[in-house]
Amino acid sequence: NARVALQKAQRPPVLRENNRHAKPQLGRVGFAPSDTISTYLFSFAAGKFQRLTQEVNGRPMSFLHRETDSTKLLLSVPIIFAQHGRALSFLESYTGIPYPFQKFDFTAIPDFQYGGMEHVGNIDYKAATLFLDNGATRDQELARRNLLNHETAHMWFGDLVTMRWFNDVWMKEVFANFMADKMSGGDEKGDDQLLKFLTDHYPAAYAVDRTAGANAIRQPLANLQDAGSLYGNIIYHKAPIMMRQLEGLMGEAAFQAGIREYLKKYAHGNATWPDLIAILDAHTPADLAAWNQVWVNEPGRPVFSYEVQGENGKIKQLLIHQQAEDGSARIWPQRFEVALVSPTGQLVQAGEVSTDQATVAVPWAVGQPLPVYALLNYHGLGYGVFPVSNNLTNQLAALTDKGWLHDQPSGRAALYIMLYENMLNDQSGSARRELLDTYQQQLVHET
């Protein structure tokens, strides 16, 4: 807890030639004792701001800003207040914990180095991100909404419970993004949210994780001055993928119950990632210790393959294999979708598989007509290198134009990512020029 008193300069009421160089008068402003928070979350704002105050869902909020564009104010201010209100309501419902601090205010800083910073009771934002005009794009509007959701989520994930040391700084960021995605889910059309998740995270995570110099999500940090070295594509992009897989492994209800227990146990205190895993482990029969070791404590990704055994034109057995890209025996337990496709490009059957061993059978595929190929991870949420059949490449234009992939942009995005990863791993049999030709051909269908 802290008690703060600030001195402030008071401008003379009338400026005259003979007093324009006069020293400003000083006043003293006292504040109530703070909540129990980490010192890096403390902030105060001082300057020539305009104050706007609204009551949203019974909660008073104050907004300090210096914006002078009346159009931006008219278009942006109601949205900013309303979105904060929606985010708070969602998080109170999801966590089962009422907003845990004395007040909820925010300030738009004209020249702020970050999009936002989750200071308790006074979130700071970059003003240019908040104030949009009539020319704002859909992406700019979504970015603002996600930012407001993200910083509000930090009130529970990072502020109410703070990491014990900065080697777990990624925890608060991945949780804030994870909750922001959940809040945005109901506002997206079709699978736009999934498409954005795929394109935002998978290529960037793969760009590092496919290399010999890849780092784990959780890394040791001996000295705080080196904290900047922890940030990168793995924390920002592989960690969100990992969180989705963790929720999928446990189930939404069990995952939420574990998160609620974690927040209540460590409220107004510090916790580590192992503390969270220990709590979640009690809410699932899965071996979270083994899962955590390969997903969080180690770098790398799996490479998948499959084999189909047939009898009388039907599938007798469909097996899916995985091995680590570095050749080790590690297994990444995860779930993803598999589609069976006929010689004419028709979708025969599709379903989910859970891969928690080096080889798993797919029970729902037994008895289905023999496919010309199986498309692993066709919704894109699996992580690793997945095989792509040349038959699929040949059918791609037809599937995209009028086939079953026509209304699944996230599925097509997953395919384009898989094609690229296969080309780099030289598993698809396509030369780089052939892959480029495929991309150019598909641009006609994507624009």
pLDDT digits (tens, 9 = 90+) for 8-45: 655 544 433 444 455 666 778 788 888 899 999 988 88
* Phi, psi (rounded to 5 degrees) for 222: -80, -30
Domains within the chain, CATH numbers bracketed: 43-153 (1.10.390.10), 162-295 (1.10.390.10), 302-446 (no CATH)
Predicted confidence (pLDDT) at residue 445 exceeds the cutoff of 80: no
Between CA 168 and CA 114, with CA 209 as vertex, the angle to 5 degrees is 50
Categorize the per-residue pLDDT at 287 as very low, low, confident or very high, splitting at 50, 70 and 90. very high
In angstroms, the CA 4 to CA 135 distance is 42
* Phi, psi (rounded to 5 degrees) for 216: -75, 165
Mean pLDDT of the chain: 89
Name the one residue in this structure whose structure tokens are 């599937």: 399
In angstroms, the CA 114 to CA 112 distance is 6
Question: How does DSSP classify residue 187?
Answer: T
Instruction: Detail the DSSP E strand segments found in 139-283.
Output: 161-163, 269-271
User: Residue 12 has which token pair?
Assistant: 């003379």
- pLDDT at site 21: 52
Instruction: For 175-210, write each residue's pLDDT tens digit.
Output: 999 999 899 875 555 577 888 899 989 999 999 999
Question: How does DSSP classify residue 237?
Answer: I
Measured from the Cβ of residue 15, the count of other Cβ atoms closer than 10 Å reads: 10
What count of residues does the chain have?
Answer: 447
Decide the pairing of beta strands 334-341 and 359-361.
Answer: unpaired
- pLDDT at site 102: 94
